[in-house]
Amino acid sequence: MQKAYSPLKKLEHLLQATQCIYQCLNGNTDEAIQGPVAVGADDFLPMLIYVVVHCGIIAAEIEADYMWDLINPAVMNTEGGYYLTSLNSAVLVLKNFKEMQEAQNTQHESRLPSISDMQGFLKIAIPDELRDSIIWKTLPVRPNMNTRDVCSMIAHKFKITNPQDYGFYYIVRGVETKLNDSHCPQDVKTEIMLKNQDCVFAYKRLASNIAWPLSVKK
């Protein structure tokens, strides 16, 4: 990826690398072809961070920014955009890991941080109305991604056919608040965490009414 000049060629190498990670996670079986269907983001994203650390990419942030700046925005609404966002979020975690660890020690929290606690990722609830259940997904979300971009990514990844009927919400103590298209969810997450409050996010139909508990277990 570092040797390629074309941003599209770099993205192609990135997608090949993610496929290799899925193959390793699936034990090199035929199921590896399924990629994200066979392996959840909670397993893939930590492995991506591990690979970035150990494969010797010394300019991963520059590579990611190079692709973001030069690739057609329409491409970013595809699977390639999702994995480029994943790479960018992995770099962000590594850049801020020491600060996050120090903050964690200062707060004396009783639990270890999950991947969704780290800047660059969000844990999002997606209600499954057919099964009357809630699916939790950890997704890469860049700090400057607004609500519109996050919704587009979710709709593409989970094949939502009527995204205009959905909205993105943050939930604190059982109360949901809809985010406007221009809001940055990562800013909202940081602001609420500074208040020592628990916050979760949800992508759901505008018309649906969900009785969220005061404390949501993810």
Do residues 85 and 128 both lie within one domain? no
Do residues 77 and 115 both lie within one domain? no
The label of the residue with tokens 């193959």 reads 23
What pLDDT, in 10s, does the model give residues 162-171?
999 999 999 9
Q: How far is CA 60 from the centre of its chain?
A: 17
Does residue 213 belong to any structural domain of this protein?
no
Residue 141 sits in which domain range? Answer: 111-205
- Residue 72: pLDDT over 70: yes
Domains in the chain: how many in total?
Answer: 2
Distance CA 200, CA 78 (A): 25
SS3 state of residue 92: helix
Do residues 80 and 137 both lie within one domain? no
What pLDDT, in 10s, does the model give residues 76-86?
778 888 899 88
Do residues 75 and 136 both lie within one domain? no
pTM: 0.73
